[in-house]
Amino acid sequence: MTMSRVDVRKTYKLFIGGAFPRSESGYSYVVHDSKGAFVANAALASRKDARDAVVAARKAFGGWAGKTAYNRAQILYRIAEIMEDRRPQLVQAVRQSEGLSGSRAEKVLDESIDRLVWYAGWADKLTQVVGNANPVAGPYFNLSTPEPTGVVGVLAPQESSLLGLVSAVAPVIVTGNTAVVVSSYRRPLPAVTFAECLATSDVPGGVVNILTGDATTIAPWLAGHMDVNAIDLLGVAGDTELATSLEVAAADNLKRVRRAPAAEPDFAADPGLEAMTAFVETKTVWHPIGV
Amino acid sequence: MTSNVFEYAPAPESRSIVDIKPSYGLFVDGEFVDGHGTSFKTISPATEEVLSEVAEADQADIDLAVKAARRAHTRVWSRMPGRERAKYLYRIARIIQERGRELAVLESIDNGKPIKESRDVDVPVAAAHFFYYAGWADKLEYSGYGDRSLGVAAQVIPWNFPLLMLAWKIAPALACGNTVVLKPAETTPLTALLFAEICQQADLPPGVVNIVTGAGATGQALVGHTDVDKVAFTGSTEVGKAIARAVAGTDKKVTLELGGKAANIVFDDAPLDQAIEGIVDGIFFNQGHVCCAGSRLLVQESVADDVLERLKRRMATLRLGDPLDKNTDVGAINSAEQLARIRELSDIGEAEGAGRWSAPCELPTTGFWFPPTIFTGVTQAHRIAREEVFGPVLSVLTFRTPAEAIEKANNTPYGLSAGVWTDKGSLILKMAGSLRAGVVWANTFNKFDPTSPFGGFKESGYGREGGRHGLAGYLKGGE
Amino acid sequence: MPPSPTTATAEDAAAQFSDVTRSDASLRGFLHGLPGVDQVGADARAAALGTRSIKTTAKAYALDLAIRMVDLTTLEGQDTHGKVRALAAKAMRPDPADATCPATAAVCVYPDMVATAKEVLGESGVHVAAVATAFPSGRAALDIKLADTRDAVEAGADEIDMVIDRGAFLSGRYLQVFEEIVAVREACARADGSSAHLKVIFETGELQTYDNVRRASWLAMMAGGHFIKTSTGKVQPAATLPVTMIMLQAVRDFRETTGQMVGVKPAGGIRTAKDAIKYLVLVNEVAGPDWLDPDWFRFGASTLLNELLMQRTKMTTGRYSGPDYFTLD
């Protein structure tokens, strides 16, 4: 009798500084599909992984923010290209984690890719839309432009494991921020596959760092971290108590906080500018006009 | 031959133009009412003379004020067409101009700042803010933030620019259709109370503007009130953090304008005489009671000696004294408490080994005074290089290269403002892009304009005041 | 401390800059290496000083000082000996009704009027200044300019107000301008070994930028000018507060460097007592009180004097005066 071939399974790891380490703690947790069947052991990120991710994100910030907007646009677009190229894998991940039919999962992927393309285009337009030349009452040139806030903690949505993730990460990085992302706890695998797309799409290491694990244990460390400039509480939508405590912790260094909504929004809707403008700083430069 | 000394004779602005009442109540729902807290005295920091007794608003008073504001918002102000709201703001702007001298004198008496500053900066710029935002009231749909107001704004302002900060807060709030409850600082309530009178003269509908006086507890009660939709605060980073904690978990929108420790960077090719003026203006304007003060001078080593020599020579011409004298450049420190803090940090600076030099000027014997002072040989490790002194005290550090200047300038939890002085255009733009600060003044300093957004990065707060961006914090469609 | 002005001489200063003034290239390198001037900041500083409020005793002091600093000027094609005699008389005794009123510093006339003015002024202490060097345009050959200068000195001029070649300056021929000033200064020498004082006019309205004014100031000081002067009065704008401030900064810095004091003379456009006092505030706070002396600061003016006199009378009588009470010369 012929023996069937034993397949080689993938180890799902964290994504920090462009590398795929296991959790520093050595812990993993079981990920089930939507029907409760075992799928994989995912790395369970610890507070120290979060710390390492913040270091990587800070290190990457200057270079990423310093790239031309055109270049950042190209890189975001490149992520979309790579995702298109890996359709079967991403569709499979979404089906598994969200329990969607094949055609529904295809649609989620379509929207995710389109969302990235949409945000990619904003890289060199947001400044034009939210910046201003200010006509001050004096002989001065005066210009206000948006600049990235810095290192942003992103608590990715718990339900929408790919479209929600992309909708949270893309607006943060397109303006030049770097991100430390905590994925959905129960549905982490699309995030890991997304990380693999990032790793092969010219995104410099550290610009996006993805931690699989439990936001309720990792987020307090990010919210209290004095070298994190902002935090998006999307991933704790509906958990008022946790969201409030994270906002309180964030006040220690006056992080910009994108508050948790009462429930996860419909990510298929037009996102508007808010997810980008929440994480930019308006800088105003004055210079005299004379001879 | 006559003496070779050109001694300026006293040139005091008359204070007869102001009529300070022996006591003031709260301004709620269009009328002055008694407060239920323990009233307090406001004094002239230049003479320690008691000027007036001012009511303290307690929780119940705050509640009444917020209710009045809510009513005014629901029934009148949010329903009024923008073009009509605009006309009230234009009226207010005009009355501020008409009563400009009176406001300036009152501000200088209550705050201690030189009359030339209250006359030439605080009051005209306050009027300009109302004029600017008046024009937005009927154009909000073009702002990018929609035209829906938030509701009731709780606004708490500091003592360094009492009337100007009031204008920064009230003008955009009202233009966007919000109503306000504003608390001025406890040491400088008088111009806000005069502003209440101006609202009456303008026939502003009752409850649109409410002024509550008091100290920290009053402010806490105001920002913590469950029926306010917006909190706007200008003041210390410490209090700003407390406010951020207090509003956590609520839907209140928040704008915070907090502390700073700005670097004023002078390169060796700078227009030196103007740079010296910028340094002096940056740290001695308003006695250094300025959140965006250029309190850290970073000077390129190759010109450090020359710059210091010029700076000292210039500082020696600063005239300190009577705030009402039209030739006074440096007025009184706002309070005994603030003076104690400035002295403490200065003494620490000296103890830590920095070289202390003060302009040779005679300090009056009554009131709160501190001479313009610089510390040389300061390093990033010194407390005077890290902590906000909020007084006329400059720390001088040196650097060798642009990269070092950027690194030192950004090496602070604050990020409100920065200055750059060089004749090289590309270097200006490089520095402007690299400095993590909300306002960068290149070859100038401490310039303000209603059209120009102001606000900080990092622990200097969030949100912007001024310009189109200043509308965002008062509209539902704002970021 | 800078060396005292009495110990440093113009020759010392000239020697100090011999490397700089060796060639066009070295001169250009030096002048363009001076710190730049930001126009907006300079204007703002001058305007701020202009808001000083000078009252009572300070005003009385300033008015008398301003009168003592006036170079009472007539530079018209229609000037006559009679006009110049009247002007000279007025310079010695500006307010015939008040013996306490000081005399002006000088009268300023064309070279052909020097002898007339000198005749009236004699040893009164009021100097005669003559504009020379093909004033006001300066567009003549060097030997003509030098002859013009020598004529005026021989006629008894105490001071020569020369114009620089603005064309040469603006086209970057700094050495030519420098050498011309040196030559005119030499032409100021008298037979007895003494020398008329030299004021160097830039015509700042034609130089246009403050950077140019600063460079011209250093050029003239290095060439040995005793005074630097803004304008001829024939080109608008003439003297302004910021331009004068730039020149005051230059003489201040020059003394820091060399120990040598150079005077400053704004001329043209200063018409009111209030304006004159603003200039004195500038002198006081920019260059310093050492310059508050007719030896180091002058006003080139004609109508200003009557305005100063009227204000002075207002100070002493307590009522406003009118032009009928002062001579129109």
Instruction: Please check whether residue B288 is in contact with residue B259, taking contact to mean a CB–CB distance below 8 angstroms.
Output: no
Q: How far apart are the first and last CA of chain C?
A: 45
Q: How far is CA B144 from the centre of its chain?
A: 27
Q: Average of pLDDT values for C175-204?
A: 97
Q: Say yes or no to pLDDT of B4 above 60.
A: no
- Chain C: residue whose CA lies nearest to B117: C48
Q: Which chains touch C (3 or more CB pairs under 8 A)?
A: A, B
Q: How far is CA C210 from the centre of its chain?
A: 17
| List of chain A residues with pLDDT < 70 | 1-2
Choice among B107, B176, B199, B291 that is catalytic? B291
Residue B5's pLDDT is 77
Chain B hits for C35, Cβ within 8 Å? 269-273
Chain B hits for A137, Cβ within 8 Å? 128, 449, 451
Contact B443 C61 (CB under 8 A): no
Least confident residue range of A122-131, B21-30, B176-185, C13-22: C13-22
User: Which stretches of chain C sit within 8 Å of chain A by CB?
Assistant: 38-41, 43, 208-210
Is the dihedral angle over the CA atoms B321, B325, B329, B333 positive or is it negative? positive
Instruction: Please check whether residue C92 is in contact with residue C103, taking contact to mean a CB–CB distance below 8 angstroms.
Output: yes
The pTM of this model reads 0.96
Choice among B56, B107, B257, B465 that is catalytic? B257
Q: Say yes or no to pLDDT of C8 above 70.
A: no
Per-residue pLDDT tens over the stretch B138-160: 999 999 999 999 999 999 999 99
Residue B305's pLDDT is 97
Residue A1's pLDDT is 58
Alpha helix stretches (DSSP H) within chain C: 10-16, 24-33, 39-49, 56-68, 81-92, 114-121, 142-154, 166-170, 174-187, 204-207, 210-222, 241-258, 273-282, 304-317
At residue A144, the 3 state secondary structure works out as: strand
Residue C9's pLDDT is 73
Contact of B14 with chain C, judged by CB distance below 8 Å, is answered with no
Residue B463 DSSP symbol? S
Q: Identify the CA nearest to A31 among candidates A39, A23, A20, A19.
A: A39
The residues near B334 (Cβ < 8 Å, ≥ 6 apart) are B45, B111, B112, B159, B160, B187, B188, B287, B289, B368
Any idea what the Cα angle at residue B400 is, between residues B397 and B405, rounded to 5°? 60
Instruction: Please check whether residue B424 is in contact with residue B430, taking contact to mean a CB–CB distance below 8 angstroms.
Output: no
Among B249, B256, B447, the residue with its CB nearest the CB of A240 is B249
Per-residue pLDDT tens over the stretch A165-207: 999 999 999 999 999 999 999 999 999 999 999 999 999 999 9
Number of CB pairs, chain B paired with chain C, less than 8 A apart: 75
Q: Which two tokens mark B244?
A: 């951020």
Any idea what the Cα angle at residue A279 is, between residues A277 and A280, rounded to 5°? 70
The DSSP secondary structure of B243-295, one letter per residue, reads HHHHTTTS--EEEEE-----EEEE-TTS-HHHHHHHHHHHHHGGGG--TT---
Where do the domains of chain A lie?
37-288
Could you please state the CATH topology (level 3) that the domain comprising A37-288 is classified under. Aldehyde Dehydrogenase; Chain A, domain 1 (3.40.605)
Q: How far is CA C119 from the centre of its chain?
A: 23
Instruction: Please check whether residue C135 is in contact with residue C127, taking contact to mean a CB–CB distance below 8 angstroms.
Output: no
Contact B440 A283 (CB under 8 A): yes
Q: Average of pLDDT values for B264-293?
A: 98
Q: Say yes or no to pLDDT of C5 above 50.
A: no
Give the closest-approach CA distance of B75 to chain C in angstroms: 47
At residue B176, the 3 state secondary structure works out as: coil
The DSSP secondary structure of B423-456, one letter per residue, reads S-HHHHHHHHHH---SEEEES--S---TTS-B--
Chain A hits for C41, Cβ within 8 Å? 288
Neighbours of B429 (CB within 10 A): 14
- Chain C: residue whose CA lies nearest to A290: C39
At residue A141, the 3 state secondary structure works out as: strand
Q: How many CA atoms does the CB half-sphere of C211 hold within 13 Å?
A: 16
Chain A hits for C242, Cβ within 8 Å? none
Q: Say yes or no to pLDDT of C3 above 70.
A: no
Per-residue pLDDT tens over the stretch C119-135: 999 999 999 999 999 99
Q: Say yes or no to pLDDT of C327 above 50.
A: yes
Residue C163's pLDDT is 98
Contact B144 A130 (CB under 8 A): yes
**d(Cα B429, Cα A287) in Å, to the nearest integer?**
10
Instruction: Please check whether residue B259 is in contact with residue B292, taking contact to mean a CB–CB distance below 8 angstroms.
Output: no
The residues near B36 (Cβ < 8 Å, ≥ 6 apart) are B56, B57, B58, B60, B61
Instruction: Please check whether residue C291 is in contact with residue C283, taking contact to mean a CB–CB distance below 8 angstroms.
Output: yes
Q: How far is CA A291 from CA B435, C207, C241, in A?
A: 26, 12, 17
Average pLDDT of chain C is 95
Contact A229 B240 (CB under 8 A): no
- Chain B: residue whose CA lies nearest to C249: B273
At residue C110, the 3 state secondary structure works out as: coil
Contact C40 A291 (CB under 8 A): no
Q: Which of residues 88-147 of B touch C (CB under 8 A)?
A: 116, 120
Q: Say yes or no to pLDDT of C220 above 70.
A: yes
Q: Is C329 a catalytic residue?
A: no
Structure-token match 């004529």, residue found: C151
DSSP collapsed to 3 states, B357-396: EECCCCCCCCCCCCCCEEEECCCCCCHHHHCCCCCCEEEE
Give the closest-approach CA distance of C45 to chain A in angstroms: 14
Contact of C67 with chain B, judged by CB distance below 8 Å, is answered with no
Contact A277 B413 (CB under 8 A): no
**d(Cα C279, Cα C277) in Å, to the nearest integer?**
5
- Chain A: residue whose CA lies nearest to B253: A259
Q: Which of residues 255-294 of C touch B (CB under 8 A)?
A: 280-281, 284-285, 289-290, 292-293
Q: Is B203 left (phi over 0), alpha (psi -120 to 50) or beta?
A: left
Contact C39 A140 (CB under 8 A): no
User: Could you check whether the bond before residue C136 is cis, i.e. omega within 30 degrees of 0?
Assistant: yes
Contact C289 B317 (CB under 8 A): no
Residue C96 DSSP symbol? T
Chain C hits for A140, Cβ within 8 Å? 40
Q: Which of A136, A141, A286, A291 to mutate to test the interface with C (most CBs of C within 10 A)?
A: A291
Amino acid at B155: Q
Q: Which two tokens mark B274?
A: 């103007």
Contact B443 C58 (CB under 8 A): no
Chain C hits for B444, Cβ within 8 Å? 38, 40-41
**d(Cα C221, Cα B186) in Å, to the nearest integer?**
57
| Residues recorded for chain C | 329
Instruction: Please check whether residue A152 is in contact with residue A127, taking contact to mean a CB–CB distance below 8 angstroms.
Output: no
Least confident residue range of A3-7, B423-427, C53-57: A3-7
The residues near A167 (Cβ < 8 Å, ≥ 6 apart) are A115, A160, A267, A271, A275
Residue A121's pLDDT is 98
Residue B469's pLDDT is 98
Q: Say yes or no to pLDDT of C206 above 60.
A: yes
Domains observed in chain C? 10-317 (3.20.20.70)
Q: Say yes or no to pLDDT of B1 above 50.
A: no
Q: Identify the CA nearest to B234 among candidates B476, B32, B470.
A: B470
Instruction: Please check whether residue A80 is in contact with residue A113, taking contact to mean a CB–CB distance below 8 angstroms.
Output: yes
Q: Model confidence at B2, in pLDDT bands (50, 70, 90)? A: very low
**d(Cα C156, Cα C122) in Å, to the nearest integer?**
10
User: Which stretches of chain B sit within 8 Å of chain A by CB?
Assistant: 128, 144, 237, 240-242, 244-245, 248-249, 251, 256, 258, 413, 415, 428, 432, 437-444, 447, 449, 451-455, 457-459, 461-462, 464, 467-469, 479
Among C41, C209, C210, the residue with its CB nearest the CB of A288 is C41
Chain A hits for C43, Cβ within 8 Å? 290
Residues facing B210 on adjacent strands = B181
User: Which stretches of chain A sit within 8 Å of chain B by CB?
Assistant: 129-130, 132, 134-138, 140, 142, 144, 149-150, 229, 240, 243-245, 247-248, 250-254, 256, 259, 273-274, 277-278, 281-288
Amino acid at B103: L
Q: How far is CA C96 from the centre of its chain?
A: 26
ipTM for the complex shown: 0.97
Q: Identify the CA nearest to A205 among candidates A227, A175, A173, A237.
A: A173
Q: How far is CA A21 from CA A42, A183, A185, A219, B95, in A?
A: 12, 16, 18, 20, 67
Could you please state the CATH topology (level 3) that the domain comprising B23-258+458-472 is classified under. Aldehyde Dehydrogenase; Chain A, domain 1 (3.40.605)
Residue C1's pLDDT is 38
**d(Cα A77, Cα A115) in Å, to the nearest integer?**
10
Q: Is C274 a catalytic residue?
A: no
Residue C15's pLDDT is 85
Residue A162's pLDDT is 98
Long-range contacts of C124-128 (CB under 8 A, 24+ apart): C124/C92, C126/C88, C126/C91, C126/C92, C127/C158, C127/C159, C128/C156, C128/C157, C128/C158, C128/C159
Structure-token match 């140019």, residue found: C212
**d(Cα C74, Cα A270) in Å, to the nearest integer?**
78
Q: Which two tokens mark C191?
A: 């037979």
**d(Cα C306, Cα C319) in Å, to the nearest integer?**
16
Q: Average of pLDDT values for B314-320?
A: 98
**d(Cα B17, Cα B39) in Å, to the nearest integer?**
26
Q: Is C161 a catalytic residue?
A: yes
Residue A265's pLDDT is 97
Q: Model confidence at B266, in pLDDT bands (50, 70, 90)? A: very high
Residue C6's pLDDT is 47
Structure-token match 């220690």, residue found: A252
Contact C36 B269 (CB under 8 A): yes
Contact A289 C40 (CB under 8 A): yes
Residue A286's pLDDT is 98
Per-residue pLDDT tens over the stretch C254-313: 999 999 999 999 999 999 999 999 999 999 999 999 999 999 999 999 999 999 999 999
Residue C113 DSSP symbol? G
Instruction: Please check whether residue B313 is in contact with residue B276, taking contact to mean a CB–CB distance below 8 angstroms.
Output: no
C151, burial (CB in 10 Å: exposed 0-12, middle 13-18, buried 19+)? middle
Give the closest-approach CA distance of A37 to chain B in angstroms: 37
Q: Which of C37, C45, C53 to mutate to test the interface with B (most CBs of B within 10 A)?
A: C53
Per-residue pLDDT tens over the stretch B382-394: 999 999 999 999 9
Chain B hits for C61, Cβ within 8 Å? 2, 6-7
Per-residue pLDDT tens over the stretch A62-75: 999 999 999 999 99
Where do the domains of chain B lie?
23-258+458-472, 263-442
Residue B409 DSSP symbol? H
Could you please state the CATH topology (level 3) that the domain comprising B263-442 is classified under. Aldehyde Dehydrogenase; Chain A, domain 2 (3.40.309)
Q: Average of pLDDT values for B39-59?
A: 98
Chain A hits for C210, Cβ within 8 Å? 291
Q: Average of pLDDT values for C58-81?
A: 97
The residues near C141 (Cβ < 8 Å, ≥ 6 apart) are none
Amino acid at B50: V
